[in-house]
Protein backbone atom coordinates (compact mmCIF):
# COMPACT_ATOMS: atom_id res chain seq x y z
CA UNK A 1 0.00 0.00 0.00
CA UNK A 2 1.36 3.44 -0.98
CA UNK A 3 2.08 6.21 1.50
CA UNK A 4 -0.92 8.13 0.16
CA UNK A 5 -3.33 5.26 0.80
CA UNK A 6 -1.86 4.58 4.25
CA UNK A 7 -2.22 8.19 5.35
CA UNK A 8 -5.74 8.67 4.01
CA UNK A 9 -7.03 5.33 5.30
CA UNK A 10 -5.52 5.89 8.76
CA UNK A 11 -7.10 9.34 8.91
CA UNK A 12 -10.47 8.80 7.21
CA UNK A 13 -11.48 5.25 8.23
CA UNK A 14 -11.46 5.79 12.05
CA UNK A 15 -13.16 9.16 11.67
CA UNK A 16 -15.96 7.70 9.54
CA UNK A 17 -16.46 4.75 11.88
CA UNK A 18 -16.61 6.99 14.96
CA UNK A 19 -19.09 9.33 13.26
CA UNK A 20 -21.14 6.32 12.10
CA UNK A 21 -21.37 4.89 15.60
CA UNK A 22 -22.28 8.31 16.99
CA UNK A 23 -25.09 8.93 14.49
CA UNK A 24 -26.56 5.45 14.95
CA UNK A 25 -26.36 5.78 18.75
CA UNK A 26 -28.14 9.14 18.70
CA UNK A 27 -30.86 7.77 16.41
CA UNK A 28 -31.26 4.69 18.63
CA UNK A 29 -31.47 6.71 21.85
CA UNK A 30 -34.08 9.06 20.39
CA UNK A 31 -36.30 6.21 19.23
CA UNK A 32 -35.90 4.43 22.57
CA UNK A 33 -37.09 7.53 24.38
CA UNK A 34 -40.05 7.92 22.02
CA UNK A 35 -41.20 4.30 22.58
CA UNK A 36 -40.81 4.12 26.36
CA UNK A 37 -44.47 5.11 26.77
CA UNK A 38 -45.51 1.86 25.06
CA UNK A 39 -44.09 -0.23 27.90
CA UNK A 40 -46.97 -1.94 29.70
CA UNK A 41 -49.09 -2.38 26.58
CA UNK A 42 -49.92 -6.07 26.61
CA UNK A 43 -46.72 -8.02 27.26
CA UNK A 44 -44.53 -5.23 25.92
CA UNK A 45 -41.77 -4.62 28.48
CA UNK A 46 -38.29 -3.08 28.62
CA UNK A 47 -36.62 -6.28 27.44
CA UNK A 48 -38.86 -6.42 24.38
CA UNK A 49 -38.26 -2.75 23.66
CA UNK A 50 -34.46 -3.08 23.84
CA UNK A 51 -34.43 -6.28 21.79
CA UNK A 52 -36.63 -4.79 19.06
CA UNK A 53 -34.50 -1.64 18.84
CA UNK A 54 -31.27 -3.62 18.70
CA UNK A 55 -32.71 -5.64 15.83
CA UNK A 56 -33.31 -2.37 13.98
CA UNK A 57 -29.65 -1.28 14.27
CA UNK A 58 -28.61 -2.66 10.83
CA UNK A 59 -31.27 -0.57 9.09
CA UNK A 60 -30.38 2.50 11.14
CA UNK A 61 -26.71 2.01 10.29
CA UNK A 62 -27.64 1.91 6.60
CA UNK A 63 -29.77 5.06 6.79
CA UNK A 64 -27.23 7.06 8.81
CA UNK A 65 -24.18 6.27 6.70
CA UNK A 66 -24.63 9.19 4.29
CA UNK A 67 -24.15 11.69 7.13
CA UNK A 68 -21.42 9.67 8.84
CA UNK A 69 -19.42 9.40 5.61
CA UNK A 70 -19.61 13.14 4.96
CA UNK A 71 -18.73 14.19 8.50
CA UNK A 72 -16.11 11.47 8.99
CA UNK A 73 -14.27 12.18 5.75
CA UNK A 74 -14.21 15.90 6.51
CA UNK A 75 -12.92 15.24 10.01
CA UNK A 76 -10.24 12.80 8.79
CA UNK A 77 -8.96 14.88 5.88
CA UNK A 78 -9.37 18.06 7.91
CA UNK A 79 -7.00 16.58 10.48
CA UNK A 80 -4.43 15.92 7.76
CA UNK A 81 -4.91 19.46 6.43
CA UNK A 82 -4.55 21.03 9.88
CA UNK A 83 -1.23 19.21 10.40
CA UNK A 84 -0.07 20.23 6.88
CA UNK A 85 0.15 16.59 5.77
CA UNK A 86 -2.10 17.26 2.80
CA UNK A 87 0.34 19.94 1.67
CA UNK A 88 3.22 17.51 2.16
CA UNK A 89 1.47 14.91 0.03
CA UNK A 90 1.00 17.45 -2.76
CA UNK A 91 4.63 18.53 -2.53
CA UNK A 92 5.57 14.85 -2.83
CA UNK A 93 3.80 14.75 -6.19
CA UNK A 94 0.32 13.54 -5.28
CA UNK A 95 -2.38 15.59 -6.97
CA UNK A 96 -5.59 16.55 -5.24
CA UNK A 97 -7.45 14.21 -7.56
CA UNK A 98 -5.36 11.27 -6.33
CA UNK A 99 -5.88 12.31 -2.71
CA UNK A 100 -9.60 12.59 -3.36
CA UNK A 101 -9.66 9.15 -5.02
CA UNK A 102 -7.79 7.62 -2.08
CA UNK A 103 -10.27 9.15 0.36
CA UNK A 104 -13.27 7.98 -1.64
CA UNK A 105 -11.82 4.46 -1.76
CA UNK A 106 -12.46 4.26 2.00
CA UNK A 107 -16.09 5.25 1.51
CA UNK A 108 -16.50 2.87 -1.43
CA UNK A 109 -15.27 -0.14 0.57
CA UNK A 110 -17.59 0.74 3.46
CA UNK A 111 -20.46 1.09 0.99
CA UNK A 112 -20.19 -2.65 0.27
CA UNK A 113 -21.11 -3.26 3.91
CA UNK A 114 -23.83 -0.61 3.75
CA UNK A 115 -25.42 -2.23 0.69
CA UNK A 116 -25.45 -5.59 2.51
CA UNK A 117 -27.15 -3.93 5.48
CA UNK A 118 -29.81 -2.43 3.24
CA UNK A 119 -30.44 -5.57 1.22
CA UNK A 120 -30.31 -8.37 3.80
CA UNK A 121 -29.60 -7.55 7.43
CA UNK A 122 -31.72 -4.40 7.72
CA UNK A 123 -34.97 -5.82 6.28
CA UNK A 124 -34.59 -9.07 8.24
CA UNK A 125 -33.94 -7.19 11.48
CA UNK A 126 -36.93 -4.88 10.96
CA UNK A 127 -39.18 -7.84 10.20
CA UNK A 128 -38.20 -9.64 13.39
CA UNK A 129 -38.37 -6.43 15.43
CA UNK A 130 -41.89 -5.71 14.14
CA UNK A 131 -43.03 -9.27 14.82
CA UNK A 132 -41.58 -9.20 18.33
CA UNK A 133 -42.99 -5.83 19.41
CA UNK A 134 -46.39 -6.19 17.78
CA UNK A 135 -46.96 -9.69 19.09
CA UNK A 136 -46.06 -8.49 22.60
CA UNK A 137 -48.49 -5.58 22.32
CA UNK A 138 -51.46 -7.35 20.74
CA UNK A 139 -50.79 -11.08 21.19
CA UNK A 140 -52.60 -11.57 17.90
CA UNK A 141 -50.41 -10.50 15.01
CA UNK A 142 -46.97 -11.09 13.57
CA UNK A 143 -44.85 -10.10 10.58
CA UNK A 144 -43.20 -13.14 8.97
CA UNK A 145 -41.24 -13.85 5.81
CA UNK A 146 -44.48 -14.58 3.97
CA UNK A 147 -46.14 -11.32 4.98
CA UNK A 148 -48.39 -10.08 7.74
CA UNK A 149 -50.52 -12.43 9.85
CA UNK A 150 -53.47 -11.07 11.83
CA UNK A 151 -55.96 -12.86 14.04
CA UNK A 152 -59.55 -11.96 14.78
CA UNK A 153 -62.08 -13.96 16.79
CA UNK A 154 -62.78 -16.81 14.37
CA UNK A 155 -60.49 -15.97 11.45
CA UNK A 156 -56.86 -15.48 10.46
CA UNK A 157 -55.70 -12.99 7.82
CA UNK A 158 -52.54 -13.14 5.73
CA UNK A 159 -51.37 -10.32 3.47
CA UNK A 160 -48.15 -10.55 1.51
CA UNK A 161 -47.83 -6.78 1.32
CA UNK A 162 -49.23 -3.65 2.95
CA UNK A 163 -49.80 -0.49 0.98
CA UNK A 164 -50.25 2.82 2.78
CA UNK A 165 -50.81 5.63 0.25
CA UNK A 166 -50.17 9.24 1.33
CA UNK A 167 -53.93 9.79 1.32
CA UNK A 168 -56.68 7.25 1.38
CA UNK A 169 -57.53 3.93 2.99
CA UNK A 170 -54.93 1.34 3.94
CA UNK A 171 -54.75 -1.59 1.53
CA UNK A 172 -53.67 -5.22 1.86
CA UNK A 173 -52.28 -6.97 -1.21
CA UNK A 174 -52.32 -10.72 -2.01
CA UNK A 175 -54.82 -11.38 0.76
CA UNK A 176 -55.98 -14.67 2.19
CA UNK A 177 -58.52 -15.01 5.03
CA UNK A 178 -59.15 -18.31 6.79
CA UNK A 179 -62.38 -18.57 8.78
CA UNK A 180 -63.02 -21.32 11.36
CA UNK A 181 -66.08 -22.60 13.22
CA UNK A 182 -66.46 -23.02 16.98
CA UNK A 183 -64.74 -26.42 16.80
CA UNK A 184 -61.76 -24.75 15.08
CA UNK A 185 -62.48 -26.46 11.77
CA UNK A 186 -61.83 -24.57 8.56
CA UNK A 187 -65.12 -23.60 6.93
CA UNK A 188 -64.28 -20.75 4.55
CA UNK A 189 -61.30 -19.33 2.63
CA UNK A 190 -61.35 -15.89 1.01
CA UNK A 191 -58.63 -14.95 -1.47
CA UNK A 192 -58.29 -11.57 -3.14
CA UNK A 193 -55.87 -9.42 -5.07
CA UNK A 194 -56.35 -6.74 -2.42
CA UNK A 195 -58.46 -5.71 0.54
CA UNK A 196 -59.51 -2.11 1.22
CA UNK A 197 -61.04 -0.68 4.38
CA UNK A 198 -63.89 1.74 3.74
CA UNK A 199 -66.35 3.47 6.03
CA UNK A 200 -68.67 0.45 6.04
CA UNK A 201 -65.97 -2.16 6.65
CA UNK A 202 -63.52 -4.34 4.73
CA UNK A 203 -63.97 -5.00 1.02
CA UNK A 204 -62.18 -7.75 -0.90
CA UNK A 205 -61.50 -6.94 -4.56
CA UNK A 206 -60.98 -9.36 -7.46
CA UNK A 207 -60.95 -12.69 -5.68
CA UNK A 208 -62.70 -15.91 -4.84
CA UNK A 209 -64.40 -17.59 -1.88
CA UNK A 210 -64.11 -21.29 -1.06
CA UNK A 211 -66.80 -22.69 1.27
CA UNK A 212 -66.36 -26.09 2.87
CA UNK A 213 -69.78 -27.76 3.21
CA UNK A 214 -69.63 -31.37 4.37
CA UNK A 215 -67.40 -33.03 1.77
CA UNK A 216 -67.92 -30.35 -0.87
CA UNK A 217 -65.91 -27.23 -1.70
CA UNK A 218 -68.06 -24.48 -3.20
CA UNK A 219 -66.22 -21.85 -5.18
CA UNK A 220 -67.48 -18.33 -5.91
CA UNK A 221 -65.65 -15.55 -7.72
CA UNK A 222 -66.33 -11.85 -7.22
CA UNK A 223 -65.22 -8.39 -8.19
CA UNK A 224 -66.11 -6.85 -4.82
CA UNK A 225 -67.11 -8.55 -1.59
CA UNK A 226 -67.89 -6.90 1.74
CA UNK A 227 -66.74 -8.79 4.84
CA UNK A 228 -68.25 -8.66 8.30
CA UNK A 229 -64.92 -8.29 10.11
CA UNK A 230 -63.83 -6.63 13.35
CA UNK A 231 -60.26 -6.21 12.17
CA UNK A 232 -59.17 -2.62 12.87
CA UNK A 233 -57.08 -0.66 10.32
CA UNK A 234 -55.15 0.91 13.20
CA UNK A 235 -53.97 -2.54 14.28
CA UNK A 236 -52.54 -3.03 10.80
CA UNK A 237 -51.08 0.43 10.34
CA UNK A 238 -49.05 0.04 13.53
CA UNK A 239 -47.24 -2.92 11.98
CA UNK A 240 -46.31 -1.51 8.62
CA UNK A 241 -42.83 -2.36 7.40
CA UNK A 242 -42.23 0.73 5.32
CA UNK A 243 -41.20 0.22 1.69
CA UNK A 244 -37.78 1.78 2.37
CA UNK A 245 -37.18 -0.85 5.05
CA UNK A 246 -37.63 -3.68 2.54
CA UNK A 247 -35.00 -5.36 0.38
CA UNK A 248 -34.51 -4.69 -3.31
CA UNK A 249 -35.73 -8.19 -4.21
CA UNK A 250 -38.91 -7.75 -2.14
CA UNK A 251 -39.60 -4.37 -3.74
CA UNK A 252 -39.14 -5.77 -7.23
CA UNK A 253 -41.49 -8.66 -6.48
CA UNK A 254 -44.11 -6.22 -5.18
CA UNK A 255 -43.77 -4.04 -8.26
CA UNK A 256 -44.24 -7.05 -10.53
CA UNK A 257 -47.40 -7.97 -8.65
CA UNK A 258 -48.69 -4.38 -8.81
CA UNK A 259 -48.03 -4.22 -12.54
CA UNK A 260 -49.71 -7.56 -13.23
CA UNK A 261 -52.81 -6.56 -11.25
CA UNK A 262 -53.08 -2.90 -12.25
CA UNK A 263 -52.30 -1.60 -8.74
CA UNK A 264 -50.56 1.61 -7.74
CA UNK A 265 -47.03 0.64 -6.74
CA UNK A 266 -45.50 4.11 -6.88
CA UNK A 267 -44.35 4.14 -3.24
CA UNK A 268 -42.57 0.84 -3.75
CA UNK A 269 -40.99 2.14 -6.96
CA UNK A 270 -39.78 5.18 -5.05
CA UNK A 271 -38.31 2.96 -2.33
CA UNK A 272 -36.55 0.87 -4.97
CA UNK A 273 -34.92 3.93 -6.48
CA UNK A 274 -33.91 5.05 -2.99
CA UNK A 275 -32.10 1.75 -2.46
CA UNK A 276 -30.45 1.75 -5.89
CA UNK A 277 -29.23 5.37 -5.76
CA UNK A 278 -28.14 5.43 -2.10
CA UNK A 279 -24.45 4.72 -2.91
CA UNK A 280 -24.55 7.54 -5.48
CA UNK A 281 -25.94 9.94 -2.86
CA UNK A 282 -23.19 9.03 -0.40
CA UNK A 283 -20.38 9.46 -2.93
CA UNK A 284 -21.81 12.73 -4.26
CA UNK A 285 -21.99 14.24 -0.76
CA UNK A 286 -18.41 13.16 -0.09
CA UNK A 287 -17.30 14.74 -3.36
CA UNK A 288 -19.06 17.96 -2.39
CA UNK A 289 -17.29 17.92 0.99
CA UNK A 290 -13.78 17.28 -0.38
CA UNK A 291 -12.93 20.89 -1.36
CA UNK A 292 -13.42 22.03 2.26
CA UNK A 293 -10.55 19.77 3.33
CA UNK A 294 -8.15 21.58 0.99
CA UNK A 295 -9.13 25.15 1.80
CA UNK A 296 -10.64 26.86 4.83
CA UNK A 297 -10.48 23.82 7.11
CA UNK A 298 -6.71 24.14 7.51
CA UNK A 299 -7.35 26.93 9.96
CA UNK A 300 -10.44 25.38 11.57
CA UNK A 301 -10.87 22.88 14.33
CA UNK A 302 -12.77 19.63 14.57
CA UNK A 303 -15.98 21.42 15.54
CA UNK A 304 -15.94 23.46 12.34
CA UNK A 305 -15.38 20.37 10.19
CA UNK A 306 -18.18 18.45 11.90
CA UNK A 307 -20.55 21.41 11.60
CA UNK A 308 -19.90 21.88 7.89
CA UNK A 309 -20.27 18.17 7.22
CA UNK A 310 -23.55 17.96 9.11
CA UNK A 311 -24.85 21.14 7.47
CA UNK A 312 -24.06 19.77 4.02
CA UNK A 313 -25.63 16.35 4.69
CA UNK A 314 -28.74 17.69 6.45
CA UNK A 315 -29.39 20.40 3.85
CA UNK A 316 -29.15 17.90 1.00
CA UNK A 317 -31.34 15.40 2.86
CA UNK A 318 -34.21 17.82 3.45
CA UNK A 319 -34.11 19.38 -0.01
CA UNK A 320 -33.86 16.01 -1.73
CA UNK A 321 -36.59 14.47 0.46
CA UNK A 322 -38.90 17.42 -0.26
CA UNK A 323 -38.35 17.04 -4.00
CA UNK A 324 -39.05 13.30 -3.80
CA UNK A 325 -42.27 13.84 -1.82
CA UNK A 326 -43.47 16.37 -4.39
CA UNK A 327 -42.68 14.07 -7.31
CA UNK A 328 -44.45 11.15 -5.59
CA UNK A 329 -47.65 13.12 -5.03
CA UNK A 330 -47.64 14.66 -8.52
CA UNK A 331 -46.87 11.37 -10.33
CA UNK A 332 -43.80 12.86 -12.00
CA UNK A 333 -40.54 11.20 -13.05
CA UNK A 334 -39.06 9.26 -10.12
CA UNK A 335 -35.70 8.25 -11.68
CA UNK A 336 -35.00 11.89 -12.53
CA UNK A 337 -35.53 13.19 -8.99
CA UNK A 338 -33.39 10.40 -7.53
CA UNK A 339 -30.53 10.72 -10.03
CA UNK A 340 -30.32 14.41 -10.94
CA UNK A 341 -29.76 16.04 -7.49
CA UNK A 342 -26.83 13.80 -6.43
CA UNK A 343 -25.25 14.15 -9.88
CA UNK A 344 -25.53 17.95 -9.64
CA UNK A 345 -24.02 17.91 -6.15
CA UNK A 346 -21.16 15.69 -7.36
CA UNK A 347 -20.53 18.00 -10.34
CA UNK A 348 -20.52 21.01 -8.01
CA UNK A 349 -17.98 19.32 -5.75
CA UNK A 350 -15.71 18.37 -8.65
CA UNK A 351 -15.87 21.91 -10.00
CA UNK A 352 -14.95 23.41 -6.62
CA UNK A 353 -12.14 20.89 -6.21
CA UNK A 354 -10.76 21.92 -9.62
CA UNK A 355 -11.15 25.64 -8.77
CA UNK A 356 -9.29 25.25 -5.47
CA UNK A 357 -6.00 24.56 -7.24
User: Does the structure show a pLDDT above 60 at 296?
Assistant: no
Handedness of CA 216, 219, 220, 225 (dihedral sign): positive
User: Does the structure show a pLDDT above 50 at 297?
Assistant: no
Asked whether 96 and 8 are in contact (CB, 8 A), the reply is: no
- What is the structure's pLDDT at 168? 54
**Residue, of 145 and 205, whose pLDDT is higher:** 205
**38-60 average pLDDT score:** 88
| Alpha carbons within 13 A on the beta-carbon side of 34 | 7
Strands 171-180 and 186-198: antiparallel
* Nearest one of 19, 1, 3, 10 to 289, comparing CA atoms: 19
- The string of pLDDT tens digits covering residues 269-290 is 999 999 999 999 999 999 998 8
User: Does the structure show a pLDDT above 80 at 137?
Assistant: no
Q: Alpha-carbon distance 187 to 181, whole Å?
A: 6
pLDDT band at 238 (very low <50, low <70, confident <90, very high): low
- What is the structure's pLDDT at 145? 60
- What is the structure's pLDDT at 22? 96
Asked whether 209 and 222 are in contact (CB, 8 A), the reply is: yes
**170-181 average pLDDT score:** 88
- The string of pLDDT tens digits covering residues 62-119 is 999 999 999 999 888 888 877 777 777 877 777 888 988 999 999 999 999 999 999 9
State CA 238 to chain mean position distance: 17
Burial class (CB within 10 angstroms; exposed 0-12, middle 13-18, buried 19+) of 17: middle
Burial class (CB within 10 angstroms; exposed 0-12, middle 13-18, buried 19+) of 350: middle
**DSSP H helical segments within 2-56, as ranges?**
3-35, 46-55
* Nearest one of 113, 37, 162 to 278, comparing CA atoms: 113
Residue 243 contacts by C-beta under 8 Å, 6 or more apart in sequence? Answer: 251, 254, 267, 268, 270, 271
User: Does the structure show a pLDDT above 50 at 61?
Assistant: yes
List residues bridging with 151 in a β-sheet.
156
**Residue, of 43 and 146, whose pLDDT is higher:** 43
Q: Alpha-carbon distance 76 to 146, whole Å?
A: 44
**Residue, of 352 and 299, whose pLDDT is higher:** 352
Q: Alpha-carbon distance 220 to 209, whole Å?
A: 5
- What is the structure's pLDDT at 259? 85
**DSSP H helical segments within 92-214, as ranges?**
96-116, 122-138
Asked whether 173 and 193 are in contact (CB, 8 A), the reply is: yes
User: Does the structure show a pLDDT above 70 at 189?
Assistant: yes
From its phi and psi, is residue 194 left (phi > 0), alpha (psi between -120 and 50) or beta?
A: beta
User: Does the structure show a pLDDT above 80 at 163?
Assistant: no
- The string of pLDDT tens digits covering residues 4-44 is 888 899 999 999 999 999 999 999 999 999 888 888 877 78
Asked whether 254 and 162 are in contact (CB, 8 A), the reply is: no
Percent of the chain scored above 70 by pLDDT?
Answer: 89
pLDDT band at 305 (very low <50, low <70, confident <90, very high): low
Within 10 A of 296 (CB to CB), how many other CB atoms are there? 14
Q: What is the mean pLDDT of the chain?
A: 85
User: Does the structure show a pLDDT above 70 at 121?
Assistant: yes
Weakest-pLDDT range from 44-58, 134-148, 234-248, 287-301? 134-148
Length of the chain, in residues: 357
* Nearest one of 182, 261, 196, 192 to 220, comparing CA atoms: 192
- What is the structure's pLDDT at 207? 93
Amino acid sequence: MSVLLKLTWRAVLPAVLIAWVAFVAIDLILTLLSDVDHIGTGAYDMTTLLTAKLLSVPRRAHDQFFAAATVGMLAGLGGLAASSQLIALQVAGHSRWRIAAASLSVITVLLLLVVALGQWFGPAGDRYASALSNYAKSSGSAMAADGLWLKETQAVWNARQLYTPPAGAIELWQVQRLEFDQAHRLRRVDRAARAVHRNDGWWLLDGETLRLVDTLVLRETYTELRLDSRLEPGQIAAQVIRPRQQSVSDLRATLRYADENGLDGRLFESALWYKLTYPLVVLSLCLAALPFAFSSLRSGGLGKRVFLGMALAITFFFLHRSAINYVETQNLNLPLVYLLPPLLVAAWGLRRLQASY
